[in-house]
Amino acid sequence: MMYRNLPALFSALLLMISVSVQAQNDNLAQNATASASTQDLAASNAIDGDPNTRWASAAQTDPSHITIDLGQQYALSSVVIHWEAANADTYQILGSNDGGNWTTLATETGGTFGDRTDTINVAGNFRYVRMNGISRSAGNEWGYSIWELEIYGQNGGAGSVQTLQAEDYTNAYDTTAGNTGGAYRSGDVDIEASTDDGGGYNVGWIDAGEWLEYTINLDADTYTVSSRVASDIGGGQFTIDLNGSEIVGTQNVDNTGGWQSWTTLTSWPIALPAGQHTVRVKVQSGNFNLNWVRFEPGSDGTDPAPQPVWSDEFDTIDSNSWTFETGGWGWGNQELQYYTGGDNAFIQYDSEVDSNVLVLEARQENPQGYECWYGYCSYTSTRMISKGKQEFEYGRMEARIKLPQTQGIWPAFWMMGNDFDQVGWPNNGEIDIMEHVGFEPNLTHGALHGPGYSGDTPINGTHDLGESADANYHVYAVEWDENGIDWYVDDVNFYSVTRSEVEQYGNWVYDHPFFFLLNIAIGGSWPGEPDGTSQFPQRMYVDYVRVYQ
């Protein structure tokens, strides 16, 4: 670009004075990255804090823009532009959170040729800030030129959502060379244009063993962590770490209906400390797309995070927590199994979850010669209860389980009111966190049973795993308080019921402690009997049971 004889020294002195005054605040742009539609001089010059360097667009190119990526969302308050003489008559300040969809924050007109400083007040939570030059000032025969561009606003804080766009990773490992999608940036991570709400880009072609890393600044608060995913196959799994420690357990990505059919997985709230953190998304199983990961704080930052109050990680079968119920009387459902006193349960290591797990085994054998309601028992199995040992009122109750799957099988993870011996069923209340029946290979269910709504209860929901129930571990959970109950699979809320909705059918009987049950039934009024296709033994693997309050 041709050198222009301008009073550069005087301009630089004015700029240094202006920058010095602003320095008492935090100029967000100085920790950011810059790019431009065209550049005769580098875009990074506009945010380097040096009043003697500048960005310059290509000559006589309208419109031209410079974009600042702040790395995360901020609540913006102002943009300060120190123009060199070749400046804009009309320009816009735009904001975006995905780099693809833009909101106009301000439009400035009437600019005159010559060095000047514009201070523009803006508002909104945005990650990307753009100066979009529409027309040059009269006498400007060159392009758009900025000595320094400063951005001011508030960092994070309660009420400020932090969204990490998947494609804006700071570090990554990909199992294949090159960007298969060919979009957005170079490198080995595979990126493509997204048709999700907001457009932008997503990371795709994800394989097991890959990871993506990001930097985030957080205030101390309670956060839910959400992930935007899509898959045309299902079976994807990933976890999320903060500074090397897992904060979001295994997220299971079901078949969402297409590679651009998006759904959001949301974690249980977790308390996180203030500061700059490294977030890592770690992939256990691929075949899914990732658009973003979002950290959303509590509304006022004062509510304490739910804390773990009890768990069984099943390194042993703890008799202080569990009792084996025994018998073959049909259990009110004409079930065919005899529940043994521990012969059908054991602990083993499972590399799939890298930990010990509890195994409940249903067998088509009866070596002890047990008698059932129909005669000699054809099957044996396990039923474990925490009655009188581990009982809880309200909170999040969850277990990570891989289910058995064959005709006639009926595994369950559920809870019963601890006043069963006094008032009987269903007056004590029953919360079915997870039930599966073999004739529905991909489905699980959640339900309530109580006075006026037991047996074929109208209070029930169904979740489609998108794969056979025995294909992978899934986290089955309820979140329960005095106002209602929500059911989850892998943090997907598939069914909810309020207290008032329950009371349309009968009394709400869920304001007292409940105990856990884990069992595999065989046959019975709901699943039907095993047939010629059924295979045994069948196993239910339980990685853990956890309670948060």
Length of the chain: 549
User: Residue 392 and residue 416: Cα distance in Å, rounded?
Assistant: 10
Reduce the secondary structure of 456-483 to three states and give it as a string.
Answer: CCCCEEEEECCCCCCCCCEEEEEEEECC
Give the residue among 86, 122, 219 at the shortest CA–CA distance from 162. 219
Catalytic residue among 335, 435, 440, 482: 435
Coil, strand or helix at 75: strand
The one-letter code for the residue type at 459 is: I
Per-residue DSSP letters for 286-350?
---EEEEEEEEE-SSS-SPPP-EEEEE--SS--TTT-EE--B-S-TTTT--EEE-SSTTEEEEEE
d(CA 303, CA 158): 11
Catalytic residue flag (residue 430): yes
- SS3 at position 281: strand
Would you state the structure tokens that stand for residue 91, as one six-digit string? 């320009």
Rounded-to-5 percentages of helix, strand, coil across the chain: 5, 50, 45
CA–CA dist 97, 263 (Å, integer): 18
Burial class of residue 81 (count of CB atoms within 10 Å of its CB; 0-12, 13-18, 19+): buried
Q: Which residue type does 336 have?
A: L
Which candidate in 148, 150, 167, 430 is catalytic? 430
246 classed as catalytic: no
Q: How far apart are CA 360 and CA 398, in angstroms?
A: 17
Helices (H), 389-451: 420-423
Task: State the Cα–Cα distance between residues 211 and 217, nearest whole angstrom.
Answer: 20
* Rounded-to-integer distance, Cα 52 and Cα 84, Å: 10
CA distance 238 to 280: 10
Query: Going by C-beta distance under 8 Å and a sequence separation of 6 or more, which residues neighbour residue 220?
Result: 271, 272, 273, 274, 301
Angle at Cα 300 formed by Cα 546 and Cα 217, nearest 5°?
Answer: 80
What DSSP string runs through 376-445?
E-SEEE-EEE-TTTSEE-SEEEEEEEE---STTEEEEEEEEETTHHHH-TTTT-EEEEEE--TTSTTEEE
d(CA 415, CA 424): 14
Close Cβ partners of 336 (under 8 Å, ≥ 6 residues apart): 372, 374, 377, 378, 379, 408, 522, 523, 524, 529, 530
Other beta carbons within 10 angstroms of residue 438's beta carbon come to 24
What single-letter amino acid sits at 513? P
Number of helices (H) and strands (E), helices first, in the chain?
A: 3, 39
* CA–centroid distance for 518 within its chain: 27
Q: Which residues are catalytic?
A: 430, 435
